Structure 1
Amino acid sequence: MGAHTKDTSDATFEADVLKSDKPVLVDFWAPWCGPCKMIAPIIDEIAEANADKLTVVKLNTDDNPATSAKYGITGIPTLNVYQNGEVVKSIVGVMPKPKLVKELEPFIG
């Protein structure tokens, strides 16, 4: 986990994500997932560069099956952006940083 991301869980998801006053990027991942490890440093860089506009949290799908099931997470990494408690963007799989930044532009400007 990077310095600019924090872990969330089934227990804290509502407070960390759904009740946030700014957009939240949730990285659904698992320790055994190779692509998740590949994208982690990119997510941390985006979190650092946009800390004032975007909250970034990570959810371990193995440890938090309820939230993963609720949002229909079947493939990881999945990056969901939540705004006002709703999923407003879903990105599945690994992509290069420039493409990911472009995908997130509506939230980070």
Structure 2
Amino acid sequence: MEMIEEDLVNVRPFAYAMSLIDGKWKVLILFWLWKKEILRYGELKRALGTITHKMLSGQLKELEKDDLVIRKEYPQVPPKVEYKLSQKGQTLMPVLQTLCTWGTDHMDDK
């Protein structure tokens, strides 16, 4: 039986990492939490611009479920909710830093 190249490459770690940050908004959410450390829901929504409430809420729930973001709710009226990177989320920041560096180096390539 002939072995194809895909059999020699373990794609699972890459696929797992990408599954945690896939989509248009997750990396941007992580970026803003990295830069600002703690953001309230409304601040995050303003920073992201055109994101809908439903999309932001869903993306934050997924990031929290995957232990990349910590949600802290304060028992007050009106409700106050803050988000920050978890320890696991912090470990992704060197990857974002590398992407930022790459972007800076290649922005003017056009």
Say which structure, 1 or 2, has more relative contact order (CA 8 Å, 6+ apart). 1
- Higher relative helix content: 2
Fold match (TM-score > 0.5): no
TM-score of the superposed pair, with normalisation by structure 2: 0.28
Select the structure of larger CA radius of gyration.
2
User: More strand per residue: 1 or 2?
Assistant: 1
